[in-house]
Every structure is written in structure tokens, then in C-alpha cells.
A and B are shown apart, each in its own frame.
Chain A
Amino acid sequence: GAGVSQTPSNKVTEKGKYVELRCDPISGHTALYWYRQSLGQGPEFLIYFQGTGAADDSGLPNDRFFAVRPEGSVSTLKIQRTERGDSAVYLCASSSFRGNNEQFFGPGTRLTVL
């Protein structure tokens, strides 16, 4: 498809488990972003990739969170030892260039940690 896709759309897991969330950006977009959106809040930045490298990971809340983009396209957000507070919608966005260009968002993955 033409837009950003994310899988799964919903993920329910138990506290302490490991999860992976996938993002497939728009073809040709070099910049990829992960955000987390809690209920009633705006998206909060987690990490930004330019190509294969994480150019800015200052938004990752702790070392349980990690993201990769090994070939400069698809990205995976990995959360270890999940906690109930990790429950949120995780959004991925891509952009044709860094900085102030429009970001195109995927539909998100709703993560619920029981």
C-alpha cells in the first residue's frame, strides 16, 4: 500500500513478557519515527531513524525499549519485560526528509499489558 503500515494492530500481553511492534514506512522515506500515545494525550516522541541509524533516541523511557531499522526501511520497536504502564498506542511515522517536513502516520499498534 501507499501509506505507513503497522502490525499488529492490537497486542495483548502479560506483564514481564517481550513484545515486538513492526512499522513499514512509505517507500523511499528515509526518516522514520516512533511515538507513544497514552489515553487522552498527544503522541510523545520515542526515537528517530535516518536511514539505518538511530539519529535520536532521547525519548526512549528506559533500557527496556529498543528499536532497529537494519535495512533502512522496516523498523521494529522492541519492549522487554513489559509493565502495565507500557500500555498505550504506539505510532510510527515516516518522512521524506528530516526536520520540518510532514510526517505520515501509521494507524498505530494498541498495546495492552495485563
Chain B
Amino acid sequence: GDSVTQMEGPVTLSEEAFLTINCTYTATGYPSLFWYVQYPGEGLQLLLKATKADDKGSNKGFEATYRKETTSFHLEKGSVQVSDSAVYFCALSDSDTGNQFYFGTGTSLTVIP
């Protein structure tokens, strides 16, 4: 069935460091891919998405490219800030298998000054 495998954390980086959080997926159809972020004490928020192969989603300096050949959707940011400290979830939605989202286990990021 459909699933998402996400890089385990926690991840601790210094401010201005480069961030990569790996995400790979398994899907029977042609899924849309998402990154959600959960800031401390807040609910899940959509960070970015990509709906087809080779699409790049971007927001707030974060980027992820939908790679069908490697079934990946890695999240990257060139220079992290303390305010980026949060838990990041990779997710997919596959119209072939229904209406639910499949989430990864989440990666906790802490950015230190």
C-alpha cells in the first residue's frame, strides 16, 4: 500500500546551516506530495506541495522537488533560522487509493543561534 518513509530525527543545526530532510514514498498511482510543518504549540500547516513529477514546491525559502525516478521528495533550505525550529512531516495523497493523506513519522528540527 501507499506509505511515506521519512528521515528520523531529531536534527540540530546551527543558524545559517544547510538543511536536508529526506523523504521517500511508495504509491500505487500518481500521488501529490506535501510537506507540513508543526511549530511548537501549533497545528499542522502546509509548507509546500507538488502535484506531478518534476514539479518543485517552494515556500519560505524551503524547496522540494518531486522525483518520480527515485520516488523522493526531499526538503531543503539553504540557510536555516531559529524560527524554523519545528517538526516537519512529509505526506502523500493518492487519488487511486482514496482520499486520505499518508504521513511520515515527522522530523524534529532544532536550530541553535
Contact = CB atoms under 8 A, between A and B. Distances in A.
Contacts of B79: none
A98 interface: yes
B105 interface: yes
For the residues of B in contact with A, the DSSP-based class is strand
Given A100-B31, A106-B43, A107-B42, A42 B104 contact: yes
Interface residues of B, number: 26
Interface string B44-56: 1110010100000
B99 interface: yes
B24 to A, nearest CB: 14
A108 B52 CA distance: 30
B39 to A, nearest CB: 11
Given A42-B106, A44-B103, A100 B43 contact: no
A105 B44 contact: yes
B99 A43 contact: no
Contacts of A98: 99
B43 A102 contact: no
Interface of A: 4, 31, 33, 35, 40-45, 48, 50, 55-56, 58-59, 91, 93, 98-100, 102-108
**The 4 residue pairs across chains A and B that have the minimum distance between CB atoms:** A42-B103, A45-B100, A100-B32, A105-B44
